[in-house]
A = this chain, B = another copy of it.
Amino acid sequence: MAPAAVDEAVQRVVLFSEDDPLLLACGRTLAPVEVAYTTTGTLDADRANAVFVCHALTGDAVATGPGGWWATMVGPGRPIDTDTSFVICPNLLGGCQGTTGPSSTDPSTGQAYGLDFPPLAIADLVTVHRRLLAHLGIDRVRTAIGGSMGGMQILQWLIDAPGEIERAVLVCASSRLSAQNIALSHVARRAILDDPDFHEGQYAAHGARPERGLATARRLAHVTYLSEEGMAQKFNRAEPDGWAAVGEAGRWLAPAYDVESYLEHQAAIFLARFDALSYLYLTRIMDAFDPFAAGPVTLDRSARALVVSFTSDWRFGTEHAVAVAAGLRAGGLGAVDERVIASPWGHDSFLLDVPAYLDVVRRFVEA
């Protein structure tokens, strides 16, 4: 089927059904699998201008336009130029923004899957992406781009389906989390799992949501998305006027510094849009991602990759990018360009208007 010429509204399609279930890396099957996605721009007659955008942990299908999570990168005149490209962006498998995930309804019970939802792997997310591409009648994308967990999906795709991606842009990606990365995600997951409102994952049936645990996870995540340097620049570190003489502990312990108010704000808006089970599943998928561990991979000798990292990113910093690039080269990818961009904004940089970064991507995708 040919998609509508310009369609920024979220569409939904069932890509796997009971007759044709999704076979997962863990050995289980899943059906139905519905996918929410957007397309932006016009597909050329020769279907050669498709761009696939993979989102990170908490993203969704709306990358561009007002409120889009990657409007710095994707849009008219942006590095991923929707005036000339046909941009596809799905919500990922296991998510909570329209695509099937652990809080979707289990057809066998009529309730949310909860922890009966199967464990997932990045490879499963890629299988669903590829099925969406086939559904759209596209064999090959001109560019596939993703940041953080989105970059991991691009990496897996390069391995799983040589020939489907001409140019890959992997930003702040990792091919193997560090023990520190896993530790941080563990702290977040335990906060969710220990929340009395979690109810072993069946919180919807209890009319509850583990908001305290999810808020803890989000506060912690935001500390790791910024850098020490970026926080020092962004927040007034000064003690509030008169606060030294606060004689009442409740007020003394309440948010007082700017960075505390920032974390509270981020937690509050996150609770309104995200789901705790998806948080558990998607972080665990990243822990287990290790695509070069199983031995040599054979990549497309005609494909090119751009691997970008940021100087102040301490979640998936340059050492991760170096490992990604080394693995791509060892696998025989046609060309691998590594770029380290100076930015004080840590892991968040990949979403921000960092001109040197956007220029590097633009030159790579237009070359």
Q: Taking beta carbons and an 8 Å cutoff, which residues of A are in contact with B?
A: 25-28, 102, 115-119, 121, 176, 178-180, 182-184, 186-187, 189-191, 193-196, 201, 212, 215-216, 219-220, 222-223, 226-228, 231-232, 234-235, 237, 239, 243-250, 252-253, 255, 257-260, 263, 280-281, 284, 287-288, 290, 293, 314
Contacts and interface: CB of A to CB of B under 8 A. Distances in A.
6 contacts: A179-B228, A179-B231, A179-B258, A186-B263, A190-B216, A191-B191
Contact of A27 (B25, B245, B284, B314): B245
Contacts of A216: 187, 190-191, 194, 216
Given A119-B252, A249-B115, A239 B290 contact: yes
A114 to B, nearest CB: 8
A260 B186 contact: yes
A180 B253 contact: no
Oligomer: number of copies: 2
Contacts of A219: 183, 186-187, 190
Q: Which 3 A-B pairs have the closest CB atoms?
A: A179-B231, A119-B252, A180-B228
Given A26-B244, A179-B232, A252 B284 contact: yes
A215 B186 CA distance: 12
A183 B232 CA distance: 11
A178 B280 contact: no
A257 B119 contact: no
A290 B244 CA distance: 11
Contact of A179 (B116, B118, B235, B250): B235
A263 B281 CA distance: 20
B220 A253 contact: no
A362 to B, nearest CB: 32
Contact of A259 (B186, B258, B290, B293): B186
